[in-house]
């Protein structure tokens, strides 16, 4: 699994000539690092005003970020598995009409799975950006640069995931599904562009 590799080995895997791990896994990893940085700031002993209100808000943010980080971490390998499924579907036999139909169905199912993973990464990244606003408001102001880096990483992860959603969505024939996903993608992008994830500076 990618998540069991050392940092050096993981970077080597991204740098290799193999198509996986690719951009989708990189996007999930990027957002996972962003969420982790926010958790670090929230865990610092000193808060913005050292008040019970600060600590309660940061505790709530940490609770959310813990689950988000775990989901993003799992998506690193899930995206690679989804891509491999797409590749496998395209390699299916297509000699007879029955084989062609089975291949088409397999490709559509695989593309849908490959779309769902980065779409979830977008959702989790947006949720982490919500938490970033809380961490920025209540966390130690000396760590504002860490929050800023976390926000930048989460936005980059979300944008990277969007690119992967778009490329997979282009091959899906289910117009209702495609329309629903495209609409959600627009909403998530607009939500972030509107200022979600203020780093507090």
- Domain ranges in the chain are 22-193
Sign of CA dihedral 141, 146, 150, 151: positive
pLDDT of 199 above 60: no
Average pLDDT over residues 180-186: 97
Helix (H, G, I), strand (E, B) or coil at 47: strand
Q: What is the mean pLDDT of the chain?
A: 94
Q: C-alpha distances in angstroms, 169 versus 26, 92, 136, 144, 183?
A: 19, 21, 35, 37, 12
By residue count, the chain amounts to 201
Kindly report the CATH number that applies to the domain delimited by 22-193.
1.20.120.680
pLDDT of 200 above 70: no
Q: What is the pLDDT of residue 195?
A: 74
Q: What is the pLDDT of residue 25?
A: 97
Q: What is the pLDDT of residue 201?
A: 47
pLDDT of 78 above 60: yes
What is the spatial distance between Cα 26 and Cα 76, in angstroms, rounded to a whole number? 7
Give 17-42 pLDDT, tens digit per residue.
999 999 999 999 999 999 999 999 99
pTM confidence score: 0.92
pLDDT of 8 above 60: yes
Q: Are 115 and 172 in contact (CB under 8 A)?
A: yes
Average pLDDT over residues 119-133: 97
Residue 21, preceding peptide bond in cis (omega within 30° of 0) = yes
Q: What is the pLDDT of residue 185?
A: 97
Q: Which residues of 165-183 are buried (b: 16+ CB within 10 A; e: fewer)?
A: beebbeebeeeeebeebee
């Amino acid at each position: 699994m990618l998540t069991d590799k050392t940092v050096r080995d993981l970077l080597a895997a991204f740098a290799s000539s193999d198509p996986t791990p690719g951009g989708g896994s990189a996007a999930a990893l990027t957002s996972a690092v962003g969420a982790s940085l926010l958790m670090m700031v929230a865990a610092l002993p000193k808060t913005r005003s050292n008040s019970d209100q600060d600590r309660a808000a940061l505790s709530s943010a940490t609770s959310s970020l813990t689950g988000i980080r775990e989901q993003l971490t799992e998506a690193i390998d899930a995206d690679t598995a989804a891509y491999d499924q797409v590749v496998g579907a395209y390699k299916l036999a297509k000699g007879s009409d029955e084989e062609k139909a089975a291949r088409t169905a397999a490709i559509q199912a695989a593309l849908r799975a490959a779309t769902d993973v980065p779409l979830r990464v977008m959702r989790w990244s947006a949720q982490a950006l919500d938490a970033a606003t809380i961490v920025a408001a209540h966390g130690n102001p000396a760590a504002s640069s860490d929050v800023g880096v976390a926000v930048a990483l989460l936005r980059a992860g979300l944008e990277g995931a969007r690119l992967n959603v778009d490329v997979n969505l282009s091959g899906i024939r289910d117009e209702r599904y495609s329309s629903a996903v495209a609409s959600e993608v627009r909403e998530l992008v607009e939500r972030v562009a509107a200022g979600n994830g203020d780093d507090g500076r």
